[in-house]
C-alpha cells in the first residue's frame, strides 16, 4: 500500500467536493480500490501505486475543468473519468465561463466583431451605447488571455471624472474614494473569477485596477490593458494612456460618446482619438449600436427615446 497527499491548488475545494461532499462521495465510488480522505484542500489517498497514479491524473483533469469552466457537475465527473468530452468542452466560441458556469461569448454580430478585432489587432476602440457589452466582453477577453497565458497581467482603468473637489468629500483613504468609480470593473471580474482567486491576483498585482491618472510614467508590457469610459478623458489624458503601450500588449478602449461627463466646452479625448487614429495599421474601431444591447429590453427603448429627443432638439435649433 502506498500513501499519497494530493494538494488541490487554485480552485475552491468546496466546488470540487460538491455540496455536502456529494462529488467527493461520487469520486470515492468510482475508485473503490482506494481509500480517500479529504481535509481542506489536501486529499490523503491510500492504495496500489498504479491506481494512485490513475486517480491523480483524473484529479488534475477535474481541477483543470473547474479552473476553465468555473463549474463541475456529477455528469462532468463521469465524463472526465471516462475520458469523454463534457458539454462545456463541446461549446464553441466561448471566451470564459462565469462563476455560475454560464458561457460568456458574443451575442450579436458587432460583439463578435469586437472579439475578432482583438484577435487581429493590438489596439481596439469599442464605441457604442450603454449595455452593448463593451466593457464586459473586453474583461472576458482579458481573463481568457490570463488563463491561456498569452498575457501576464490585466490592467483596468477608468477616468475619475469628479476627481477634483467632489472626491475630497468622500470618506476614507484614496482607495476608498476611487473604488466607487471602478466598481463596474470589479463586478465583471467577480463574475468570471472566484473571489479568493481574484483577491490573490490583485494582491500579487497580476490584476491591477486603477484610475487613469495612475498610468502616467508607466510602460505597460505583457498585459491586456483596458480603458473604460474613455469618452470622459481629455485629449491629453488619452494620448498619455495610449503611449503607455509596451511589448506584447493589447489595449482595449471603450466608451460611449453620447454620455460625455466632461465640463462643458471640454473636448472628449475619445472623439479626438477616433478622428486622429482612424485608418492606422494595427488599430481597429468597432462601432456598436442599440441592436447590440444585451441588458434588460427597457435599456434599448430608453436609448432610443433619448436619441429621438436629441434629434428633435437639433431640428428645433436649426
pLDDT (tens digit per residue) in 48-79:
999 999 999 999 999 888 888 888 888 889 98
| β 123-127/207-211 pair status | unpaired
Residue 275 has a pLDDT of 92
pTM over 0.95: no
Q: Range with the lowest mean pLDDT among 120-134, 173-187, 272-286, 295-309?
A: 173-187
Confidence of residue 175 (pLDDT cuts 50, 70, 90): low
For residue 253, list its beta bridge partners: 125, 227
Q: Cell numbers at residue 262, please?
A: 466632461
Q: Measure the CA–CA gap between 107 and 221, rounded to whole angstroms.
A: 30
Residue 164 has a pLDDT of 42
Q: Measure the CA–CA gap between 73 and 11, rounded to whole angstroms.
A: 15
Q: What is the crossing angle of helices 134-147 and 109-120, to 10°?
A: 40
Statement: residue 14 has pLDDT above 80: yes
Q: What is the 3-state secondary structure (H, E, C) of the chain?
A: CEEEEEECCCCCHHHHHCHHHHHHHHHHHHCCCCEEEEECCEEEEEECHHHHHHHHHHHHHHHHHHHHHCCCCHHHHHHHHHCCCCCCCCCCCCCEECCCCCEECCCCHHHHHHHHHHHHCCEEEEECCCCCCHHHHHHHHHHHHHHCCCCCEEEEEECCCCCCHHHHCCCCCHHHHHHHHHHHHHHHHHHHCCHHHHHHHHHCCCEEEEEHHHHCCCCECCEEEEECCHHHCCHHHHHHHHCCECCCCEEEEEECCCCCCCCCCCCCHHHHHHHHHCCCCCEEEEECCHHHCCCCHHHHHHHHHHHHHHHHHHHHHC
Contacts of 54 (CB under 8 A, 6+ apart): none
Q: Range with the lowest mean pLDDT among 56-60, 180-184, 312-316?
A: 312-316
Please state the rounded mean pLDDT for residues 254-266: 87
Which pLDDT tens digit goes with each residue over 79-101? 898 888 887 766 678 888 888 88
The answer to whether 114 touches 254, Cβ cutoff 8 Å, is: no
The answer to whether 89 touches 101, Cβ cutoff 8 Å, is: no
Residue 85 has a pLDDT of 80
Which pLDDT tens digit goes with each residue over 202-229? 999 999 988 887 888 888 899 999 999 9
Q: Cell numbers at residue 128, please?
A: 457604442
Q: Measure the CA–CA gap between 85 and 52, rounded to whole angstroms.
A: 23
Q: For a pLDDT cut of 70, what percent of the chain falls above it? A: 90
Amino acid at each position: 500500500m502506498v500513501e499519497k497527499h494530493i494538494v488541490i491548488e487554485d480552485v475552491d475545494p468546496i466546488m470540487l467536493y460538491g455540496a455536502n461532499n456529494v462529488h467527493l462521495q461520487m469520486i470515492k465510488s468510482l475508485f473503490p480500490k482506494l481509500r480517500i480522505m479529504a481535509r481542506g484542500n489536501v486529499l490523503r489517498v491510500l492504495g496500489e501505486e498504479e491506481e494512485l497514479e490513475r486517480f491523480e491524473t483524473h484529479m488534475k483533469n477535474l481541477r483543470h475543468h473547474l479552473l476553465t469552466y468555473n463549474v463541475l457537475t456529477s455528469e462532468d465527473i463521469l465524463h472526465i473519468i471516462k475520458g469523454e468530452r463534457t458539454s462545456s468542452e463541446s461549446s464553441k466560441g466561448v471566451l470564459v465561463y462565469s462563476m455560475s458556469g454560464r458561457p460568456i461569448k458574443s451575442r450579436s454580430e458587432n460583439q463578435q466583431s469586437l472579439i475578432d478585432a482583438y484577435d487581429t489587432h493590438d489596439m481596439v476602440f469599442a464605441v457604442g451605447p450603454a449595455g452593448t457589452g463593451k466593457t464586459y466582453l473586453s474583461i472576458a477577453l482579458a481573463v481568457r488571455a490570463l488563463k491561456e497565458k498569452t498575457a501576464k497581467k490585466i490592467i483596468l482603468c477608468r477616468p475619475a471624472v469628479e476627481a477634483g473637489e467632489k472626491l475630497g468629500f468622500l470618506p476614507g483613504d484614496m482607495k476608498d474614494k476611487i473604488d466607487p468609480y471602478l466598481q463596474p470593473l470589479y463586478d465583471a471580474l467577480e463574475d468570471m473569477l472566484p473571489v479568493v482567486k481574484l483577491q490573490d491576483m490583485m494582491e500579487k498585482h497580476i490584476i491591477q485596477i486603477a484610475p487613469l491618472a495612475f498610468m502616467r510614467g508607466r510602460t505597460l508590457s505583457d498585459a491586456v490593458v483596458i480603458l473604460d469610459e474613455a469618452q470622459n478623458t481629455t485629449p491629453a489624458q488619452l494620448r498619455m494612456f495610449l503611449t503607455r503601450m509596451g511589448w506584447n500588449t493589447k489595449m482595449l478602449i471603450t466608451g460611449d460618446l453620447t454620455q460625455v461627463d466632461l465640463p462643458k466646452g471640454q473636448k472628449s479625448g475619445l472623439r479626438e482619438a477616433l478622428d486622429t487614429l482612424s485608418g492606422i495599421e494595427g488599430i481597429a474601431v468597432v462601432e456598436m449600436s442599440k441592436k447590440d444591447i444585451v441588458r434588460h429590453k427597457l435599456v434599448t427603448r430608453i436609448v432610443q427615446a433619448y436619441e429621438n429627443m436629441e434629434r428633435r432638439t437639433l431640428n428645433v435649433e436649426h
